[in-house]
Structures are given as structure tokens and as C-alpha cells.
Amino acid sequence: MRRLLTLSLICTLLMAGVASSTTVIPPTFETLVSSANTIFVGEVMDVRSEWISTRDGRAIITRVTFKVEDVWKGASGAVTQLEFLGGTVGEMTMEVVGMPTFREGQRSVLFVSGDAKAVSPLVGFWHGRMRVEKDSYGVDRVRTYDGRSLGNPEQVGANKASYMLSVTPMRLSDLETAVRGRVSAGRVR
């Protein structure tokens, strides 16, 4: 426990500049789509955390490998890997508050920024991940990063009270139509 506390304190001090950037204003649907270089639906194939050396000392990163099912914006290969700050190696954990976590088999829609040096490669930090889950009829449904129902794209970035209005999460196919429409509209301007 003492090692975890010490590591957390060291990481907090080393990442002091990053800590202020974890206060994120939820992006609107339009901002999420327009700010992403790549948007894809993927299934987690592998999650691996490891130590790296930085100019400020050592840190833990987690590399998440995705099998890409469909690309809605930009380009991606059949497999892609994203790197997130934080994770667990052995008994040591480096936690970045609000960092999305992944496990094998999970499916998500990911809105990936072009900032390779970012703590999180996702637009809006954790907001750039939408969970995909099958309902009892086998239909792919979309939830927010934290598992709340997403009834329509206008609810992206809205206050939590508006999420309570949506009992049934929207279909993945409806989100795809909205994203592709927004991408096309952005090209016309």
C-alpha cells in the first residue's frame, strides 16, 4: 500500500502539468466529430501496461490493441493500437483520474485525436469513447463512456439530467449515420 501511495504522489508531482488538463468540458457531438482525425468501431484484442522513461522520470502507459470493425472517418488498418497514460504493472498502479479503461472483448466507438503526445489519444479525454453493447435482441446499442444511455447525438456533451430522458440507447447504425452525415457536412463547407 505504501508503494502505491508513494508512486501516486510521485506521479502526481511529475504530471502536475497534465493534471489541470484532465478537467474536460464535455464536447458537443459536432466538436467530437470535427476534432477527431479517425473515428472507428473496434473490439479490444489486448491490453498491456508497461513502464516507460520520460524526461520527468518513469511512468506507466497502457497500450490497447483494437481489431477495427469499421472506420467512419479517416483511415486505419485492420488492427490499431492506442496508448494511454497510467495502468498497473505488477503491484504498482499509476492512476490518471478519468482515464478510460479497457478489457479484452469490449467494443467501442473511438474518436481519436491527432495529438500523439496526448495523455489520452481520444478527443475530449474520456468523452471520445462510446461503448457498444448488444441488447437482448442482438442489436448493437451505444452508451456513453460511463455506461449511460445515449438516446441521440444531441445528448453528447449535454448535462446528465438530459441522459435520464433516454431509456433505450440509440442503435450503433443510427450513430454511424449521424457521424457520417456530420463528416460529409464538414467537407462541404
Which one, of 169, 178, 180, lies nearest residue 133 by Cα?
Answer: 169
In 55-151, where do the E strands start and end?
57-73, 79-85, 87-89, 92-94, 107-112, 129-134, 140-143
CA gap 169, 147 in Å, rounded: 10
pTM of the full structure: 0.83
**pLDDT at 18 (0 to 100):** 45
Low-confidence ranges of the chain (pLDDT < 70): 1-23, 158-166, 188-189
Q: What does the pLDDT read at residue 168?
A: 84
Query: Residue 25: its pLDDT value, please?
Result: 84
Q: What is the pLDDT of residue 162?
A: 52
pLDDT at res. 86: 95
- Structure confidence at residue 159 (pLDDT): 60
pLDDT number for residue 186: 79
Q: What is the DSSP letter of 3?
A: H
Beta bridge partners of 142: 132
Q: Which residue, 61, 32, 45, is CA-closest to 129?
A: 32
Predicted pLDDT of residue 16: 44
